[in-house]
Amino acid sequence: MGTWDIGPFDNDTAADFSYRIDAAPEANKAAVLLAAFEEVTGTGDEYLDADLGVEAIAAAALVAAQCPGGDPVTTSYGPKEPIPALPTALRPPAVAALDRVLGAESELLELWEESDGEEWKAGVLRLRAVLAR
């Protein structure tokens, strides 16, 4: 995975995920985001692949952008097409997915902990806080 910064779309996997979101019809964009959350939470206690975690964080950032206090996704690596109003029902699955990414048996967390990942982790926790309100 090529990573150039700590933001939700600052890596190759998330940038590729944004293409999948753009390719989805407007009515299906929420389902694409939900699928990213369910892929992460559906792994149970198994070791969580970093790419799944990256996609869940990117999806969570898009949901959080529509929450009170959420930051807009302005990076050029995010979706180019507008994201329609998303159902608030996406927030709990997003929180659960972020909890899984930050929990035990998460490759993405391990990779960030090998470097100075505290700023990355703080960013994910900020997303979680916005979504959990």
* 66 within domain boundaries: yes
d(CA 104, CA 25): 35
Indicate whether 91 pLDDT > 80: yes
* 78 within domain boundaries: yes
User: CA-CA distances (angstroms) from residue 65 to 83, 89, 122?
Assistant: 10, 14, 17
The residues with which 48 forms a beta bridge, in sequence order, are 106
Indicate whether 35 pLDDT > 60: yes
Q: Which domain holds residue 75?
A: 12-132
* 49 within domain boundaries: yes
Number of domains the chain contains = 1
| DSSP notation for 32-62 | HHHHHHHHHHTTTTSPBPHHHHHHHHHHHHH
* 6 within domain boundaries: no
pTM of the model: 0.96
Q: Using 50, 70 and 90 to split pLDDT, how confident is the model at 12?
A: very high
